[in-house]
Structure 1
Amino acid sequence: MVKLVVGGALIFFSSITFAVETSLKGILDVHAYHVNNTSDAYSYLKGDYGKFRFDTGTGFALAQLGIRYELEWQNNFSATIVGNAFADRGNNEIGITEAFVRYKGLPSQNGWRFQSKLGVFYPSISLENVATAWSTPYTLTSSSLNNWIGEELRHTGVNFSIEKLGKASKSSHSFSADLSLFQNNDTAGTMLTWHGWTMGSRQALLHEKLVVQDFPARDNLLAEQAAKSDPFIEIDHRWGAHIATSWRIENKLKLNLGYYDNMAEEGLVEHGQYTWATDFIHAGLKYKLTKQWELISQYMKGDTAMKSLTGIDVVKAEYDNMFLMMRYQRLAHHVAMRFEHFNVDDQDETIGDNNNENGNGVTLSYRYQLSKKQFILSEFNWLRSERPSRSYELQPVDLVERQYQLAYRLYF
């Protein structure tokens, strides 16, 4: 679908006698890191229970090489494709993360503006990942809430958005609402349930499959589950929906509210991929306290469930997550401190698949601006989580993990 949407749009618009402008933006992020924990667990990306992107130990990584290429026509249409590459010990991938066509109308005299998208794109949720190629400019790692979005959520479909710009009526208040109808998210919730909340900077690529953790139920009731989960597969041919609203007061306050439901039909399986019925509410707040201080916070609460072919609740869980970030910027210096809490409540009776989890995390990040587009960053992450499923691998249920990073970042 991605190739058809973007390729078809390029052919169609190229045949119209409108002038076209091109733009290329990117991010290069190189990290040195050190991770330690009390169990020497490998990263969740390798199918273990470590909560960080990187394995225990010291190393260097291409944390992100992201490129956003855009074609923009004078008739308010544009086509965008975003690619990302990641490389660290045993985990090297390159591919596409977004590809869509967009129409962005001009505001009316009363300040009303209509926009729409068609293709593959991120849901309008994150208040952290707002820079090039869905990177976060504030820290080296995304919160666990947004890390899950980058791993399992993508809209493949259409988005309609309407906005009321306050400046047209000399008001400081602006409002927007958007509706997305999507497919290819039938397995959303799989990784959140089976490896729990994680903290990192790794987005799933559209072609990528994710390693599922090992646990006893995979030898019994879940024997048909594939060894890797496909986060962007379509099984039931139903459309999911996401509604998001926003209220802004100039550049001082932004408040977001939304609801996501993949509308999956439970009890279906295709090539080892089960349908998961997943929904959640989300809220976000960005508030500029002073010229130097800003508060950013997000909250999410939802549930996910997967049934067997006979209709038995194999997996059923409720989850919630919240983070609070304070950031301070003065001249070339930027400091961010983030606190987060997360939870998964296992509500099924499947033996050998305990998905309960409770955890807290703290991040302290410092950024120094070398030039307009170059930065040096350092960061410390502390994360404590209680997860009974670690006992299946003879690892401690209560685990404390620490991560230290030093990075060079270039926006181009």
Structure 2
Amino acid sequence: MKLPTPILLALAVNAVNAGAAEWRGLLDIRAVDSDAGRSFLDSGLAKTRYDENSPRLSIGQAVLRGDADLSDSISGTLELSADQQHRGVVDVREAFLTWSPVPDGAWKTRVRAGFFFAPTSVEIDYDSVGWVPKHTISSSAINSWIGEELRTNGVEWSARRLGRYSGAPYDVGVLAAVYTGNDPTGTLLAWRGWSISDRIAGRFESAKLADLPVYRPPSGILLKQWREIHPFREIDGKLGYYVGANMNFGTRLELAALHYDNLTDPRVVKDGQYGWRTRFDHISAVWRPYGQWELAMQSMRGDTLMGWNGVGLDFQSWFALASHPLGPGTAALRYDRFSTSEHDILPSDPNNETGYGVALAYDWPLAGNLSLMTEALLVRSDRSARVLIGEPQVQKERSLTISLRWRF
């Protein structure tokens, strides 16, 4: 919490006093029909945001983003969000300062400091508002997890070498970051598993876990663990890091890789939350072969550990997405695979799972800044821990969502 506070104050003072902020927003009204079991937002172990008891009509999200130029090379960004399922009325999604000095040669550098998303997604339009997918309503399993449990609360440096300066047909970039917080990262993957959703956690939000016996009073083995977790909390006082590289061949092919490690001490417990040592490797590619086709792929593999191997887990997921204009809009098809595999000393706390998801979406621009997006989603998953809270081990969830979006 220490880094965002002065940044928020600087942004607010600049916007009010200088009047230099550019404000943009997103309002997303949803109509949903779902047959899913109890959602993870209602302490269940289903994979989707909406279930059969969710309101048929709701506010999917409301986002307000302000960007302000504080000098010729320094800018500030503040993004606030709210929705009907949020714990609290308004929360901070991102708040950071960016230093972009004028390039002197082929290399272009940038430094960001504050609370922000790491560049880990090929689904998201980073120039838009809200960190929402470009072609679907739900995010892939990978980016659903990132939206809920990962945020950089620190400093990120990146540099890009522009190929046109040397006659090369490609641009190449590198990045590195250090951050605090994200010590509980891995809790949701272990005790809730993957999800396929567009639910994005705010800076001060907590998430409620299912009522599993492993931390249920009075006989649970891990009674120091609360059911409420704070994903971005600092527990052990150590910095985490990530490093990455990327390469672009014009707009035809984009490649990226990233290694992430929060370096958390898994033996530390603080304020009802264990530290989780979580690390992963991530690769992605976007290919535009011809015409207006766009093919995107993203893959992640990693592991997480809590305590003296009290909970140990390998996790992996990948997805492929294809999109193309169709009629007045754009059609997209995404296929997900995800799994977790435990290797710990608590057989009474099963955390294995396997599953897949298929999303078919269509984005139809309307008049002005309005658009209408529809998505049919199917998720099938097998998770043995569900029987511990009276749910079927194997679940198949289907939903149809219509999203009316106003960008302003």
Same fold (TM over 0.5): yes
What do the CA deviations read for 1:112-155 (whole angstroms, capped 9, x no partner)? Answer: 11110111111110111223121112111111110000000001
What do the CA deviations read for 1:295-345 (whole angstroms, capped 9, x no partner)? Answer: 0110000000100xxxx3210000000000000115631000000100000
Structure 2 counterpart of 1:86, from 80, 83, 87: 83
What is residue 7 of structure 2 aligned with on the other side? 5
Distance 1:150 1:408 in 2: 21
Aligned length: 400
What do the CA deviations read for 1:252-280 (whole angstroms, capped 9, x no partner)? Answer: 11111000000001211111111000000
Structure 2: runs of 5+ lacking an equivalent: none
Structure 1 counterpart of 2:111, from 112, 116, 119: 116
Matches within 5 A, 1:13-412: 21-37=20-36, 41-57=37-53, 59-88=56-85, 93-108=89-104, 110-130=105-125, 131-219=128-216, 220-307=220-307, 312-330=308-326, 332-371=328-367, 373-412=369-408
Distance 2:117 2:13 in 1: 24
Distance 1:142 1:31 in 2: 16
Q: Percent identity?
A: 28
Contact conserved, 2:11 with 2:78, CA < 8 A, in 1?
A: no
Structure with greater strand share of residues: 1
Distance 2:406 2:228 in 1: 33
Amino acid at match of 2:293: W
Distance 2:310 2:344 in 1: 7
SS of residue in 1 equivalent to 2:281: strand
Contact conserved, 2:262 with 2:278, CA < 8 A, in 1?
A: yes
Structure 1: runs of 5+ lacking an equivalent: none
Per the TM alignment, residue 351 of structure 1 is displaced from its structure 2 partner at its CA by 3.8
Distance 1:14 1:66 in 2: 19
Amino acid at match of 2:74: F
What do the CA deviations read for 1:69-120 (whole angstroms, capped 9, x no partner)? Answer: 01113421001111111115x8664210110011012222x32111101111
SS of residue in 2 equivalent to 1:392: helix
Per the TM alignment, residue 172 of structure 1 is displaced from its structure 2 partner at its CA by 3.1
Distance 2:89 2:397 in 1: 25
